[in-house]
Structure 1
């Protein structure tokens, strides 16, 4: 079964909008695990507009499932944060400064040497590494040369075209996943997956180990409640 990691960035956004500690990010993380989530994901950014750096230290103390820290490894503060907390997994994303949300994967050919160097730093610290990639076979095949353990398929393209032609939408992702399996890379996925498109994606991606979902899951929780929503997402992966 593919594991569900809940991205709690949006909970931090809501908390930060009023100051104080409501909702309580730490309690929400505990509740997500209690309700069945198999991982907690955070994506701290330099402006700390949602997850704050201190949140990462606080979460490290209480997360009992898999802790996944995503972010821009071109920022030294991010590197230091990950090394100080040693999560089970770090996911490297090529964000630009001030970017609202991630919108593309790594060019694993152009940045091959850089990725080799940075991935070695994390792996030497005993942290599993995943890198964000687009569903392009050449980028997947080049990813293995960087030393990464996994790739995370950036799924915005699939989600955008799912309702128009789901078979066409899934095709490049299936091909990319098959290429990853051939070279021995683990496969994660995330971005814009939701209750409408998740099941079809999971059924058609061979070797899918983990999906990370935040925005859609938190939005659904407003209507269905957090516990029920997490269970609904888990059923899409069963």
Structure 2
């Protein structure tokens, strides 16, 4: 059954907009776990506009489920994750000016660069995931560079689903199947929500983990954090019955 990892970047964004420690990021992370969330995802950026590097060290002390750290493998990022040693690192090709992650890696063009980074991570036992667009050819090189799995960038899927273009799922299915054939786990994330989640999981039932932040935090403004997390978990469980 797919696991729910909650991205808490937006909590840090809200805190940073006012200064101080409201909302309390660590308390929210602990509450998410208490409410049933099976992992915490964070994406520290060089400008620390939401998750700070200090946050990463503080969160590492209170995460009892799974800590997934996303980011572009700059030297500073690599120093951080090699020091913290989270359960999983997801390599994302975002730039400093990106508002949010908006594409996956070209694993063919960047295979030498990524191979060196992944080797460093695997040497200390960190599970590695590569952020990919739904392009089947990219999976082959994800395997060659030594990744343990992939995370499908689902931004395009969410747009297609919203516009009732359900054939948008086809390339995701193909990409996930090739990953599975090559013994790579499959995660998914970006713009997933309570409306589009079920169709994705029904189409690719062997997804290992979904990472959801923006929508889940936004929905919790109306439903409450505990109710929102439970809504996601109930929706997931319903699919596998």
Task: Give TM class, smaller chain.
Answer: over 0.9
- 3-state secondary structure, aligned to 2:172: helix
Q: Which residue of 2 aligns with 1:65?
A: 65
Contact kept, 8 Å, 2:90 with 2:130, in 1: the verdict is yes
CA distance in 1, matches of 2:235, 2:145: 32
CA distance in 2, matches of 1:155, 1:43: 17
Contact kept, 8 Å, 1:129 with 1:149, in 2: the verdict is yes
Contact kept, 8 Å, 1:195 with 1:233, in 2: the verdict is yes
Task: Measure how far apart 1:166 and its partner are.
Answer: 4.5
Q: Which residue of 2 aligns with 1:113?
A: 112
Contact kept, 8 Å, 2:47 with 2:96, in 1: the verdict is no
Q: Which residue of 2 aligns with 1:192?
A: 191
Note the alpha carbon deviations across 1:87-144, whole angstroms, 9 max, x for none. Answer: 0000000011221100000001111111111100000011000010000110112210
Q: For the aligned residues, what is the CA RMSD?
A: 0.8
- 3-state secondary structure, aligned to 1:107: coil
Runs of 4+ in 1 over 3 A off after TM superposition: none
User: Bigger shift: 220-229 or 170-179?
Assistant: 170-179
Unaligned runs of 5+ in 2: none
Q: Which residue of 1 aligns with 2:7?
A: 7
Note the alpha carbon deviations across 1:171-229, whole angstroms, 9 max, x for none. Answer: 11111111111111000000000010001101111420000000000000000000000
Q: Which residue of 1 aligns with 2:95?
A: 96
CA distance in 2, matches of 1:100, 1:155: 16
Unaligned runs of 5+ in 1: none
Q: Which residue of 2 aligns with 1:52?
A: 52
Task: Measure how far apart 1:164 and its partner are.
Answer: 2.6
CA distance in 2, matches of 1:102, 1:139: 18
Note the alpha carbon deviations across 1:62-109, whole angstroms, 9 max, x for none. Answer: 100000000010x21111110110000000000112211000000011
CA distance in 2, matches of 1:70, 1:25: 17
TM-score w.r.t. the length of structure 2 is 0.97
TM-score w.r.t. the length of structure 1 is 0.98
Q: Which residue of 2 aligns with 1:39?
A: 39
CA distance in 1, matches of 2:5, 2:217: 13
